[in-house]
Amino acid sequence: MIIFNSVTKTFPSGHTALCDVSFRIKPGEFVFLLGPSGSGKTTVLRLIIRETTPTQGSILVAEHDLQDLPNREIPLLRRQIGSAFQDFKLLPDKSAFENVALALDILGKPTHQIDHSALALLQRVGLHDKINLFPSQLSGGEIQRVAIARALATDPVLLFADEPTGNLDIDTAEQIVSLLRHINQEGTTVIMATHDQNLANHFGYRQIHLHEGKLIKDVHPESSSTKKSSKKKTK
């Protein structure tokens, strides 16, 4: 699904956000991308969606070599990648339904399909009874669920959640990760960027650790001592 091969990203300011980072993520994996603010997590996302390009190294995403990808094919790549962010980026003057419907409208879906798909996506994230509420009327966890529903509008093969639990209490955060886990079990590759080590440990998935732009640790589930206890907690 994703291959980073000795990727370095240095911005014009001289700041090196990633330094010689290499990893592979298989189709259907759930991966926590861990590190403090400024460690390079968001830069990984920006590289994956070809918002920026590496200074050195190569990146393959869903069989696309991003170095050689023509600009005209970037929108197609991005349709295969759903993104949900900590700051949600929902339109405050539109309801949950309208926020999701707008994403479908931008994709050029016909009106009858938009109505059906928007409702189905909100049902998928457990908000069937909140479709007409505005962001100001929703809790933080519910807003994040709308953002995830919108990210799923393109039926992506990869979902990148960038600090989706950063502003949530622990119980709500675990509910959001459980939702992402369910989406992953349906076949979508999920990458969740977070600084919350305890939350990642609770679920026992693979962890890729970044620090100051360097990959310092890649912990696979089979080597994680938390896997067994995590499964017991989440049954």
pTM attached to this predicted model: 0.86
CATH entry 3.40.50.1360 includes domain 27-52+72-234: no
What are the sequence ranges of the domains in the chain?
27-52+72-234
| Degrees to nearest 5, angle at CA 184 with 24 and 178 | 120
CB atoms within 10 A of CB 182: 14
Tell me: the pLDDT tens digits for 113-125?
Answer: 999 999 999 999 9
Tell me: the pLDDT tens digits for 203-219?
Answer: 989 999 999 999 999 99
The pLDDT-based confidence of 231 (bands split at 50, 70, 90) is very low
Q: Which amino acid is at 151?
A: A
- Which residues are within 8 A (CB) of 186 and not within 5 positions of it... i.e. 6 or more apart? none
**Mean pLDDT of all residues belonging to the chain:** 89
Q: What are phi and psi of 176, to 5 degrees?
A: -65, -45
The per-residue pLDDT for 120 is 95
Tell me: the pLDDT tens digits for 161-176?
Answer: 998 888 788 999 999 9
CB atoms within 10 A of CB 26: 10
SS3 for 36-100 is CCCCCHHHHHHHHCCCCCCCEEEEEECCEECCCCCHHHHHHHHHCEEEEECCCCCCCCCCHHHHH
Tokens of 198: 């305890």
Tell me: the pLDDT tens digits for 84-115?
Answer: 877 767 899 999 999 999 999 988 889 889 99
The per-residue pLDDT for 222 is 66
**Spatial distance between the Cα atoms of 101 and 185, rounded to a whole number of angstroms:** 25
The per-residue pLDDT for 174 is 93
